Amino acid sequence: MCVVIILGSGPGALKSIEWRRNPSHNIVAINNAWRVRPDWDYLIHPEDFPIDRRPRVFKTDQKIVGAKDYVPLQNQVGGFVYAGGTMAFTAAYWALAALKPRVIAMIGCDMIYPSTGPTHFYGKGTADPLRQDITLRSLEAKSARLLALAAQSNCAMVNLSDAPSSRLIYPRATYKNLNSVRPMEFQSSLIERALNAEASANYMVPDGRYWKVEHQFDQRVIDQIDQLWLDVAEHTTVNNDLSEAV
């Protein structure tokens, strides 16, 4: 089973430049992050990602992942309303289903946007995860959901960022200690409770374009489901913070 490194566009993504490539790793770049390292394996982006920001030339073993690839896989794990409609989560769910890794390590995905200084590795950019979107009311809850569902697939989620704060609730780790990372353990009954609440609400949009039918969703129901996932994250039995390990 491989290790997946997901590169976001946060300033911290530049830290990955210094990492020596491990042949057992797969690098998944989100949107503009393909510019950070030329040795990416997959570039994943939404349908509206501007053509002039996409790579004009890439190697034959580098793959582009679009909506036709990730929408069906995300639907297998509940769709976009419950998972959160931003590419950091979409990329991770796609990687979990398509690559079946033992670790997904994220860098440049903290989703923290200071009022001063760079917000992205290329300077100032748009804070997509902070847009008004009913699926992004709690980024912490969405990351909790991914953390728990990945663990059920025997995959650990970690954050390689050294930023002081993050909207991701994943344990911190370093690039050097990824071989030591193990999935956290959660109470299966709490996960089942959250999944049952999702199934009861039935907020599925098969084509992934949930924003076109957003009026059909009750934000109170989504908030309740988010809280259930936060409850899942609060009842873990393993402390997997390896940020200080060598």
Give the domain ranges of the chain.
3-234
C-alpha span between 158 and 104 (Å, rounded) = 6
Lowest-confidence region among 96-105, 126-135, 141-150: 126-135
- What is the phi/psi pair of residue 180, to 5°? -95, -5
Q: How far is CA 148 from CA 158, 192, 194, 203, 232, in A?
A: 12, 11, 11, 20, 7
* pLDDT for residue 10 is more than 90: no
**pLDDT for residue 246:** 31
pTM confidence score: 0.90
Mean pLDDT of 114-138: 67
**pLDDT for residue 128:** 58
Only one residue has tokens 């200084």, namely 117
Q: Which of 89, 11, 76, 7 is nearest to 43 (CA)?
A: 7
pLDDT in tens, 40-97: 999 999 998 999 889 988 889 999 999 999 999 999 999 999 999 999 999 999 999 9
pLDDT in tens, 188-223: 999 999 999 999 999 999 999 999 999 999 999 999
Q: How far is CA 5 from CA 142, 180, 207, in A?
A: 19, 15, 27
* pLDDT for residue 14 is more than 60: yes
Matching CATH number, 3-234, of 3.40.50, 3.90.1480, 3.40.720, 2.40.30: 3.90.1480
The arrangement of strands across the sheet holding 42-44 comes to: 63-65, 42-44, 25-30, 3-7, 103-107, 156-159
| Token digits of residue 38 | 């030329």
* pLDDT for residue 130 is more than 70: no
Q: What is the mean pLDDT of the chain?
A: 89
pLDDT in tens, 170-186: 999 999 999 999 999 99
Lowest-confidence region among 100-114, 126-140, 223-237: 126-140
**pLDDT for residue 165:** 87
Mean pLDDT of 135-160: 96
**pLDDT for residue 242:** 47
C-alpha span between 223 and 141 (Å, rounded) = 9
| Token digits of residue 13 | 């993504």
- What is the phi/psi pair of residue 229, to 5°? -70, -35
| Token digits of residue 12 | 């911290």
Going by DSSP bridges, is the β-strand pair 156-159/25-30 parallel, antiparallel, or unpaired? unpaired
Task: Pinpoint the alpha helices (H) of the chain.
Answer: 67-75, 80-83, 87-99, 139-152, 188-201, 219-234
Total number of residues shown for the chain? 246
For residue 143, is it left (φ>0), alpha (ψ between -120 and 50) or beta? alpha
- Rounded percentage of the chain residues whose pLDDT exceeds 70: 88
Contact 176, 221 (CB under 8 A): no
Three-class SS of residue 48? Answer: coil
- In a 13 Å sphere around the CA of 93, the CA atoms on its Cβ side amount to 28
